Amino acid sequence: QQQVKQSPQSLIVQKGGIPIINCAYENTAFDYFPWYQQFPGKGPALLIAIRPDVSEKKEGRFTISFNKSAKQFSLHIMDSQPGDSATYFCAASGNTPLVFGKGTRLSVIA
């Protein structure tokens, strides 16, 4: 009930490509869905977040798509760059502590 399932585990794309990372949840009480970006040796940094009253949110090159009925949400990175190479975590909460997915290691190659 508290799990957030994230896929894929790792992803390699060419520079300029559009990596897509998917997450699914079960707990319908979740109402906040952030994505965190983590570089090696650093703490997770909030990238973008969405609430279930909208189906999409864009911030710069990052877009979250949210499907409430399917209980799924995904992160799209437009025009990916080598500097986007990092581990990405989805998470969810409902006025409760964040529950994280297992992470996706993204490599963007030039």
Partner 1 sequence: EPEVTQTPSHQVTQMGQEVILRCVPISNHLYFYWYRQILGQKVEFLVSFYNNEISEKSEIFDDQFSVERPDGSNFTLKIRSTKLEDSAMYFCASKAGDAYNEQFFGPGTRLTVL
**Residues engaged in binding partner 1 (CB under 8 A):** 32, 34, 36, 41-46, 49, 89, 91, 93, 95-103
- Smallest gap from Cβ 105 to partner 1, in A, equals 9
d(CA 64, CA 20): 10
Instruction: Name the token pair of 44.
Output: 């997770």
- Smallest gap from Cβ 44 to partner 1, in A, equals 5
Judged by CB, which is closer to partner 1: 65, or 87?
A: 87
For residue 17, the surrounding DSSP H or E stretch is: none
- Smallest gap from Cβ 81 to partner 1, in A, equals 22
From the list 44, 62, 32, the residue with the least C-alpha distance to 103 is 44
Judged by CB, which is closer to partner 1: 36, or 80?
A: 36
